[in-house]
Amino acid sequence: MTAPRVELGAGAEFDIIRRILVQADASGDAAGGAVVLGPGDDCAVLDGGLCISVDMSIEDVHFRRAWLSLEQIGYRAAAAALSDLAAMAAAPIGVLAAIGCPADTDDVLRIMDGIGAAARDAGAALLGGDLARSPGPVVIDIVVVGTADRPVLRSGARAGDDVWVTGRLGAAAAAVREWSTGRVPDDAAVLAFTRPVPRIAAARWLAGRGLTSALIDLSDGLAGDAGHIAAASGVQLVLDADQVPIHDAARAAAADDDDALRLALHGGEDYELCFTAAAATLDGALATAFTEQFGIELTRIGVVRTGSGVMLRGAGGDVTSTDGGYDHFRRKTP
């Protein structure tokens, strides 16, 4: 049996991954029944519900040492990786950390300090890792392992479902923009970028109540990540522009309302959740209970319908296609 695979959304990075997966398919699936879900979702899933994912962070691509301390760099790398467990509604077991770093012992320890803090905050143990000297950039690779009785995939969205998002978007992108232009971001933006909260408990709360037909975490930006749900589920997601919850820090950094929306749609690295729920299952009482529990909002931002891709419905009712999210093989450094 070949393990099911998941369709990906638009982007040059995902074009490469599609070509890789064609090669992989051609080679067959040697491990057979031990693999429940192969590449393409936020985690691979093994028999018994074990979820596993890997996330690479590279200096001057994912972070800059001028902007962040080494502890912050480690924390952020691990939190971003742990967010992939949230995207499956999986409970963390542990992390493995591979670090490539110029030969400075204290640097490695400071990075590991941040990784350890993020793992601890998420209830994950340090399982192991690898240490190598890097001649150039600091490279951090985090493996996350978790478990879910019923992992929530990207592929379960159905026409008629509602589209929801947790929290507010665009603050991390606002921080990057401010740093990039030589300004000092406000504290909320810095915090969003340096200490993202993997929404693990929130995802498990939602999934445990049967409210998530499809689920993804927002790493590449809402437009791009919603596109992955659309592609995996074979549906179209229509997002209401005026419903997208924009973070105050994004509004503060933005030139105008359109620009703030752009940060929220395309900025990426929010590590909030986007999910679909059968219509009317997530009512006001549940949304209020969620906010009381987790201190963040739940916002209905659109609907699922037949078709493909992600469309944006403006205040006037006009519907336009969206671009994708952050794409490593299209754009330059942050």
Spatial distance between the Cα atoms of 216 and 163, rounded to a whole number of angstroms: 11
Rule CB under 8 A: say whether 229 interacts with its own copies.
no
Q: Is 193 helix (H, G, I), strand (E, B) or coil?
A: helix
Rule CB under 8 A: say whether 108 interacts with its own copies.
yes
Rule CB under 8 A: say whether 103 interacts with its own copies.
yes
Rule CB under 8 A: say whether 18 interacts with its own copies.
no
| Structure token pair of residue 263 | 């940060």
| Structure token pair of residue 161 | 């479902």
CB of 312 to its own copies, least distance (A): 27
Rule CB under 8 A: say whether 296 interacts with its own copies.
no
Spatial distance between the Cα atoms of 181 and 206, rounded to a whole number of angstroms: 38
Neighbours of 64 (CB within 10 A): 15
Spatial distance between the Cα atoms of 105 and 91, rounded to a whole number of angstroms: 32
Site for its own copies in 121-150 (CB under 8 A): 123-137, 139, 141, 143, 145, 147
Q: Which of 8, 10, 44, 82 binds its own copies (CB under 8 A)?
A: 44
Q: For its own copies, give the closer residue by CB, 42 or 161.
A: 42
* From 97-105, 164-172, 203-211, 259-267, span contacting its own copies (CB under 8 A): 97-105
Rule CB under 8 A: say whether 187 interacts with its own copies.
no
Q: Which among 210, 56, 213 is positioned nearest to 137, based on CA atoms?
A: 56
Q: Which of 7, 17, 160, 308 binds its own copies (CB under 8 A)?
A: 17
Spatial distance between the Cα atoms of 159 and 276, rounded to a whole number of angstroms: 10
Q: For its own copies, give the closer residue by CB, 104 or 242.
A: 104
Element (H, E) at 113: helix 105-122
Q: For its own copies, give the closer residue by CB, 98 or 287.
A: 98
Q: For its own copies, give the closer residue by CB, 95 or 235.
A: 95
